[in-house]
Chain A
């Protein structure tokens, strides 16, 4: 009887374990089935590199280059802002902060991760957009820059917690060795700790970027959503995710617009898959 119970539980857990993979495969198959149908109306080259996105016109123009560039620009901006701050914060927490402060900081960062993105987007729309508009004397504050700043807040918790973890797992004797050779604390961090933890930190950055590129609600609210090829970071952009979210409701099931939105989904899937694999490679290198 007992053995039977063990058997059942074992199998149940196996099902749970396999389920996630099963679902990913199902989702991918569905995405591929719906998304690849767009080839019937527009060639893959024209779809990826077309410069205009007018999905509901007759005939529809389905070029997602402005959307891809919009997503990349916002992500790049967010990375430039969040990586130095995030890694700096991780170094401070792992190496310098006194125990009490460390706990407070960690709790604070977890809180930051817990704020729903729609709330951040709303706050950004009301406070950040007018600020950006006034500081840089722009016609409007709903720009790629505002989106980048907001997304940097969202990437920070991921970057900080994983980078801190990486720094923490550097063997103690590396540090002791450096001190014994007469290195200062900063020299130890810069020349010993960071290189030793580098693969973990790269993984942290990649996962942070993965979070940013998939983010939807906040960017939809504060990037202005104009489907133009951005010439600087001070102009409105439209991201891949915001396009799907904003237009899914309108797309008539089975229309070319509907398939195009799924094809955007594939593009996003491929991008975030690549980022996650890169992050994973670095994480494994560390182990």
Chain B
């Protein structure tokens, strides 16, 4: 009995030591769900090469990342959209100066079920589908089925990006909104699952989530342009019209461990990981 207690105490002491040590050289990375897999891959490789440093990565959405950065509960925020004016003002009030680093590119795939006969759409058609103006697949040459529109929740950078660049077509004065009948799902995986099982559904997510159970739609800027599919090549050469930058945000010029980690992400090795997780490198 005594021995057990003793060994328990010893373990506890070690654990606290480890914990205390962890505080000094550990960083919290938080934000975009799109980037969670990428962030985790970076963190794993980084920790392998720098034993003793701890990087913990969690998701929650770009907005979540920004609010954590502002409230200083994380060191680096991952974001699939630019920080908003409002968020910058708020950050400054709290003494945080967001510093943006572009680390990768991502193509947004529009996906339907493989059972859906449609294979290409223009941005205009997409905007009309997602705002609810087109309600039935037959209006755009599909089967006579009500379109089930799937979107991410409002805490998702993907949601914001899609609204600004597809629904509103980069027009800051546009008032276009997602159709109020659009289903708001809480993760990209939930959209992937629903699209896989529902022949009338259409959704969007980062192209890393494409699998054999969903069919990516070829997209054209307008009727005169070529229809392009979301591949790494088409994102790199800019042919695919819905692609976006992915960012890391730090508080001011990154320093110490944060700088070391961000440098790693931008290194050749870090950018190789970007490619491996189905995103597009920036360097």
Contact = CB atoms under 8 A, between A and B. Distances in A.
Interface of A: 52-57, 66, 125-126, 130, 133, 139-142, 220-221, 224-228, 235-236, 238, 246-247, 249-255
A246 B90 contact: no
Interface stretch (B16-24, B63-71, B273-281): B63-71
Contacts of B201: 140
A139 B186 contact: no
A252 B198 contact: no
Interface string B234-260: 000000000000000000000000000
B183 A52 contact: no
B193 interface: yes
A139 B90 contact: no
Category for how many chain B residues contact A: 35 or more
Given A140-B200, A141-B198, A247-B154, 20 more contacts: A54-B177, A56-B154, A66-B180, A140-B148, A140-B198, A221-B190, A224-B185, A225-B153, A225-B185, A226-B180, A246-B186, A247-B153, A249-B64, A250-B64, A250-B155, A251-B63, A252-B87, A253-B70, A253-B90, A254-B90
Contact of B155 (A53, A221, A249): A249
Contact of A221 (B64, B145, B186): B186
B177 A225 contact: no
Given A125-B193, A130-B197, A140-B201, A247 B90 contact: no
Contacts of A235: 181
Nearest to A224: B183
**Chain B interface main SS type:** mixed
A178 to B, nearest CB: 53
Nearest to B177: A54
B105 to A, nearest CB: 23
Interface centre among A141, A224, A226, A255 (most CB of B within 10 A): A226
Given A139-B145, A139-B146, A249 B183 contact: no
A249 B63 contact: yes
Contacts of B60: 249
Interface in B53-77: 60-61, 63-64, 66-67, 70-71
Interface string B81-98: 000001100100000000
B194 interface: yes
Contacts of B193: 125-126
B36 interface: no
B156 to A, nearest CB: 8
Nearest to B197: A130
B126 interface: no
Interface in B177-219: 177, 180-186, 190, 193-194, 197-198, 200-201
